[in-house]
Amino acid sequence: MKEVYIDTPLGIATITGNKDGITSVSVTKESTNTPSIDIPSHLQNAVSQLHEYFEGKRTDFNLVLNPEGTDFQKKVWNELLHIPFGKTATYLDMAKRLGDPKCIRAAASANGKNPLWIIIPCHRVIGSDGSLTGYAGGLWRKKWLLDHENPVKQQSLF
């Protein structure tokens, strides 16, 4: 398992993976790591695609993913992949899509354990009232990501 560090507008991100796929992407509130210079070949595509995302040139990812989690967590993470770029869903929407509106808390918990920051777009899940509820990377990062994906366009008055 190898890990590399990349600079993003939201802090230093850590990408971990091997020949079987990307196992995690995370950003921490404070990082003493510096961006990696030598990127292993099996992580180069992930690094490139994340840079393209932050540059506004990519709206979805085409990577081999290999996250570790329970079967239920993986089911939730798979559902997250169906939330389109620039759109949001509520935790209740997620529970319904999983087939059981009563599993809302379990779905929210699995959402919070998503090991693949941005690539599996857990930031696109919001509260039923439209609020930006819990986000492991900090609510300011969630707001930034949602604004990045759906910027408000100023309309011309003329």
Q: What is the pLDDT of residues 85-101, one digit of tens each?
A: 999 999 999 999 999 98
Write down the pLDDT at residue 152: 62
Q: Are 6 and 12 in contact (CB under 8 A)?
A: yes
* Burial of 155: CB neighbours in 10 Å, binned 0-12, 13-18, 19+: exposed
**pLDDT at residue 45 greater than cutoff 90:** yes
CATH architecture of 71-149: Orthogonal Bundle (1.10)
Please give the model's pTM, rounded to 2 decimal places.
0.89
Domain ranges of the chain: 2-55, 71-149
Question: Concatenated DSSP letters for 100-135?
Answer: -GGGHHHHHHHHHT-SBTTTS-GGGEE-TTS-----
pLDDT digits (tens, 9 = 90+) for 98-119: 999 899 999 999 999 999 999 9
Pairing mode, strands 89-90 and 21-27: unpaired
Write down the pLDDT at residue 106: 93
Q: Percent of the chain scored above 90 by pLDDT?
A: 77
Q: Are 42 and 2 in contact (CB under 8 A)?
A: yes
**Tokens read off for 151:** 């910027």
Strand segments (E) across the chain:
2-8, 11-18, 21-27, 89-90, 125-126
The sign one gets for the Cα dihedral 90, 91, 97, 101 is negative
Distance of alpha carbon 72 from the chain centroid = 18
Write down the pLDDT at residue 29: 65
Write down the pLDDT at residue 73: 96
Query: How much is the average pLDDT of 37-52?
Result: 95
Write down the pLDDT at residue 20: 94
User: Which has the higher per-residue pLDDT, 152 or 53?
Assistant: 53
Write down the pLDDT at residue 31: 67
Catalytic residues: 122
Give the Cα separation of 120 and 158 in Å (integer): 40
